[in-house]
Amino acid sequence: EKEKGKEKVPFINGPPSSSKEDLKIDRKLAQLSFFISSHFYRHRPVRHGFVNHSSPVSALCTLAALPRLQPPKSPRMEGVAPAISLLRPRASARSPILLAADSSAARRSTGARGRDMGPRRSVEASPSGAGITRLPKLGPGVSTKRIGRSKDPVINYDVSHHRAVAAVRLLRTEKGKAFVDLLNETTDDSGENEMGYVERTLGFSTRHLEDRDIRLVTVIVAGTVRWKRYLDYLIMSLCSEEKLFREMEPLLLQILRIGFFEILKLEVPAYAAVDENVRLAKVALRPGAGNMVNAILRKLVSLNETNSLPLPKIEGDDRAQARAISITYSHPVWMVRRWFRYLGKDEALGLMNWNNSDPHFSLRVNTSKGYTRADLVKRLESLQIHYEESIMDEFVRIREGMQAVIQAGLLKEGMCAVQDESAGKHQVPVVGLVVCAVDPQPGETIVDCCAAPGGKTLFMASRLSRQGKIWALDVNKGRLRILKDTAKLHGLDEMIIDVHADLRQYAEDTSAKYDKVLLDAPCSGLGVLSKRADLRWNRQFEDLEELTCLQDELLDSASMLVKPGGILIYSTCSIDPEENENRITAFIERHPEFVPQSVCGYVPAEFVTEEGFYSSRPTKHSMDGAFAARLIRSMH
């Protein structure tokens, strides 16, 4: 090409820029790629079958299939992807060159037979018969400003889109940068946001997520996180050596977890789970990764069909049994041993089964805006969402269709709120029962000490019949702002006063006293593990000691806000006695002016303990675990 003098020279990055320096870079890259390509074909056998190898662009495409042979970096190229990632798909009359991104495309273009090691994508033929090619993916740090056009995403229609999104979300969840539940992101463009993460992580986009896809992603991600210990044990057992599992790259591990979960727990047909996850691994990583996924998943299918999975035997002393059960039921060992001690083996196993089940959603109708449950039921029926009515007039329970509720605008209209996720024969939301224990009455002054995100605050405000005030106190300013916005949406903002402060400092600074003080204290969340799939892996045994100290401090501060004859309500979403009954006992010893008052008459009798506290347990009541106690302050 150099010998042609001033004749046209193909440029690897689109038309030349007005900058002379850019022109020099383009010419040097073209010359360098042609030289290396010629050397490659002279000294090594052609295994990749690339056509039109006299072209500098084809030479660079050949280099892309050989990671060991890469053009040297110039100072200008520091921090930029290799030359192949700079290639832009162009098709014009001047240069009808189409690009190939891996060897499998070339093999198909020359009619080569054999096993296809790469992903299938849409192909395009050159007008000049240059061959069949595909579009390369740009490096994440590559700028497209020189080209004079915006970066168009490469959409891959062959990869399972919901599996690609699930794999990326699992990566983000493990780093603590995303919710497990995609439905928690209640914006209308949550699907588009996920596509952005997929493109930045994998280098390509997939089809748009529909409502059903978002629900499926949530099921896969939440289930994979819940069963992570169980799945990892099996994956490690089926690897040729433990080192292979320990050093496995994160994305490959997530793809394997998805495949194992689909086959073992979702009962997806084996051929579909294997094929789709192998294809995802090949496209997102490399052909060799797909081969590994294929081998491990096929071995799993074979063992599962013969009921011979390599699971640990539950035998030996208590410690050994707890370790084996922690794998089989996918829970931390310390939780298993603690529940064995407090609940007994049978109830502990039942609790773990509950934690591994899919939660339900509870919707509370906003009666303060004039809506009734019949209005909400009518809207749900129009959306073809199956529902169940609760024994509490304000609540309706649904298992699926939350995304349809969001997109239909029921939350934005203020018709209802997502109050809680609980299920079972009682169909009673835990939040509702705690508010029942508070028993807010018109004209009362109430402080919600740890108010955000505001579920209990809004429910209490709706019970005041627009008479009385609620002070919503929280240390998190952002979450408090969300609470205030939701209160406006529900028409309750005039009854709620938001206070951004730490309870301990607020109690010292103010002289105000209130009729009722609700302390929904920070806790371990051991009663709601079914709806917070990742919480079990984020809690350590040492956390309990720190939490109990914090709960004691908050209880002492909250008690300073209660006027004589007033009520202090302490609640948690934990089932651990150390955070519940033991905290009340210790508090009364420090504050003899407070006396426990039974919740009997405020909540159904089956939730009242012998000590007069409210307590719900998943194994007993088939609903999330929670605790609440009423403490009345003496008049002196």
Residue 451 annotated as binding site: yes
Q: Scanning the structure block, which residue is given the tokens 């093999």? A: 107
∠ CA 418-405-155, rounded to 5°: 115
Between CA 83 and CA 88 the distance in angstroms is: 11
Whether residue 550 contacts residue 522, with contact meaning beta carbons closer than 8 Å, is answered with yes
Count of Cβ atoms closer than 10 Å to residue 110 Cβ = 12
Residue 106 annotated as binding site: no
Coil/strand/helix, residue 153: coil
Half-sphere exposure of 415 (CA within 13 A, CB side): 17
At 160, the amino acid letter reads S
Count of Cβ atoms closer than 10 Å to residue 397 Cβ = 21
Residue 474 annotated as binding site: yes
Return the structure tokens found at 463: 């019970």
| Cβ neighbours for 300, distance < 8 A, ≥ 6 positions apart | 234, 238, 259, 260, 263, 264, 309
At 634, the amino acid letter reads S
Residue 502 annotated as binding site: yes
Torsion angle (degrees, nearest 10) of CA 361, 431, 393, 436:
170
Task: Catalytic residue, from 61, 436, 523, 573: name it.
Answer: 573
Residue 316 annotated as binding site: no
Alpha helices (H) along 248-330: 250-264, 270-284, 287-305, 318-328
Residue 450 annotated as binding site: yes
Coil/strand/helix, residue 172: helix
Return the structure tokens found at 216: 């499926």
Residue 100 annotated as binding site: no
Between CA 437 and CA 614 the distance in angstroms is: 8
Residue 453 annotated as binding site: yes
Between CA 251 and CA 249 the distance in angstroms is: 6
Between CA 577 and CA 607 the distance in angstroms is: 15
Catalytic residue list contains 600? no
Give the helix/strand (H/E) hosting 492.
Answer: none
Whether residue 56 contacts residue 12, with contact meaning beta carbons closer than 8 Å, is answered with yes
Return the structure tokens found at 396: 């309706």
Q: From the annotation, which residues make up the binding site for S-adenosyl-L-methionine?
A: 450-456, 474, 502, 520
Q: From the annotation, which residues make up the binding site?
A: 450-456, 474, 502, 520
Tell me which residues are annotated as active site: 573
